[in-house]
Amino acid sequence: MAHTCSLANPAVFKSMPSTYPALALHVAGQWLTQASGGVRPVINPADESVLGLLPLAGQTELAAAAESARRGFLQWRRLSALERFTILRRATDLMRTRAKQIAAVLTLEQGKPLAEALREVTLSADIIDFQAEEAKRLYGRMVPPRVPGILSQTVLRQPVGPVAAFTPWNFPVNLPSRKLGSALAAGCSVVIKPAEETPGSCIEIVRCFLEAGVPPDALNLVCGDPAEVSSTLIAHEAIRKVSFTGSVTVGKLLGEQCARGVKRYTPELGGHAPVIVCEDADVGFAIKSSIPAKFRNAGQVCASPIRFYVHRPHFDAFADGLVKGAQALKLGAGSDADTQMGPLAHAGRLDDMQRFVDEAVGMGARLLCGGKRSQRSGYFFEPTVMTDVPDGCRLAREEPFGPIAVLAAFDALDEAIGLANASRYGLGAYAFTRDLVTAHRLGEEIEAGMVGINHFGVSQPALPFGGWKESGHGQEMGLEGLLAYTDLKTVVVGVPS
Ligand code: NAD
């Protein structure tokens, strides 16, 4: 919830660093530094200082944003795919030119190391480029008539309409860019709501699009009370599609709201990724790869590896290697050059991590390292490795979304595949093996949207990214990410008389 505070609080202003931008909403072509929903502070998770004050949209601004998106759609859809491509390429040029500055904003508000933030900004530009390129090839098709009297039968692919997009705080540039890149490339207008915890870097991306020539009405940005913003925008008659990245709980709620208006919906939800370390795996390589994959962004990654199933003879060596790697990580502010793991993104995450650990330990789990808040100020939680985690506890079933790894041993591959699939989630999944047959079997049998064998890099601009089961449906990125913002239309033209 928003911690509303007064604009007149001098203590709050004193602690604002100059590198963090002034926060504003973009509604109906105007940047608003004040709005009818009040304000809330944006906090630096590395030292708990206030970075800025975020204006919050109320009903007036939300209605204005949706109406603006309706107008913006009519302008933007008229441009050819090539014209849209040219504008979007200009936007990504601006993103690359400003990458360091945008990354600094991202690190201040979200906490991840600056190098990770910089990679996020440049990868986001690549994602938008890929979508803008693909949009030039959004072909329809001609279908031969089956009866006389017909001149042509065409299947057209058209933009679905104004989109409402909601993104979380863990990738404050990448996740908005996935949605904005595809929607705008396809010819849709957008109202985007970034997470209120991390609005600054998304504002900077929106500036790049607008300065590049996206019509002001085609791109609105609002923040506010999340439940109010989402229910208002989804119910608004102008909005034709909703794209949501976030938790399963909120994803289901928004899905129900979309169903009421029969609105297209793409939910990209949480994960509980398994990693199978097989009998024939190179265990040293598996450990070396798993440490950065697990603790990147302090584990706040939807496809982050969580449940490690290790062939029993390798278990002790794997556990030992992972624990040593976790303990060696340098924690610190993302803006410090030698930091390897930053803080959690907000205070609530710390409490949640502790609840996950304490419940599991209370039910018999063993802590191999970490398990508690770090001594330093800021929202730091120690990299944590646990084993003997009972099936019944939350950690075994629910995404911790933090720096916690859970280890278990297995004896036979069938058993490991069964354990990997025994989850309501199905987003990322990984395995280590040197056997080609095993690699193909795992690729075939694991129930997940993305499977990485001997590799954690499943999130790339050209590859579709999405979940199975309660992790969602539909995809972002790749050609499929673009098609998600289009609708088909069949046009039959008969002989006039
Ligand atoms: P969340 O569901 O609480 O919030 C996500 C976004 O939805 C935020 O912008 C939030 O403000 C907004 N929101 C809209 N309506 C809301 C409502 N009625 N109530 C609350 N929030 C509402 O998720 P979070 O904790 O911010 O993000 C973490 C989750 O996102 C994790 O589950 C993670 O796995 C998931 N995630 C998924 C992907 C993916 O691509 N599948 C990528 C990143 C994160």
- The crossing angle, in degrees rounded to 10, of helices 226-235 and 248-260 is 30
Alpha-carbon gap, residue 311 to 428, rounded angstroms? 20
**Residue 302 designated active-site:** yes
340's CB contacts (< 8 A; 6+ apart) are 113, 295, 329, 330, 331
pLDDT of the residue at 495: 97
Question: Tens of pLDDT along 423-446?
Answer: 999 999 999 999 999 999 999 999
The more confident residue out of 401 and 6 is: 401
Determine if residue 246 is left, alpha or beta; phi over 0 gives left, psi from -120 to 50 gives alpha, anything else beta: left
pLDDT of the residue at 5: 33
Question: Tens of pLDDT along 205-247?
Answer: 999 999 999 999 999 999 999 999 999 999 999 999 999 999 9
pLDDT of the residue at 19: 85
Residue 6 scores a pLDDT above 50: no
373's CB contacts (< 8 A; 6+ apart) are 350, 353, 354, 380, 381, 382
pLDDT of the residue at 176: 98
Residue 92 scores a pLDDT above 60: yes
pLDDT of the residue at 17: 52
pLDDT band at 12 (very low <50, low <70, confident <90, very high): very low
- For 411, the enclosing helix (H) or strand (E) is none
pLDDT band at 284 (very low <50, low <70, confident <90, very high): very high
pLDDT of the residue at 18: 54
51: which 2 tokens? 């970075």
Average pLDDT over every residue of 172-185:
98
Question: Tens of pLDDT along 128-147?
Answer: 999 999 999 999 999 999 99
Identify the residues whose C-beta falls under 6 Å from ligand 1. 166-170, 175, 193, 195, 226-227, 230, 245-247, 250, 253, 268-271, 302, 399, 401, 427, 467, 472
- Residue whose structure tokens are 């990504």: 92
Average pLDDT over every residue of 106-112:
97
353: which 2 tokens? 């991590």
**Residue 268 designated active-site:** yes
Determine if residue 102 is left, alpha or beta; phi over 0 gives left, psi from -120 to 50 gives alpha, anything else beta: alpha
Which atom of ligand 1 lies at the shortest distance from residue 465's CA? 40
Average pLDDT over every residue of 239-261:
98
The percentage of the chain sitting over the pLDDT mark of 70, rounded to a whole number, equals 96
Helix residue ranges, H only, 313-466: 315-328, 347-362, 394-397, 413-421, 436-445
Alpha-carbon gap, residue 351 to 360, rounded angstroms? 14
Residue 148 scores a pLDDT above 80: yes
The active-site residue, picked from 109, 120, 197, 268, is 268
Average pLDDT over every residue of 54-66:
98
Of residues 179, 234, 233, the one with CA closest to residue 206:
179
Average pLDDT over every residue of 161-172:
98
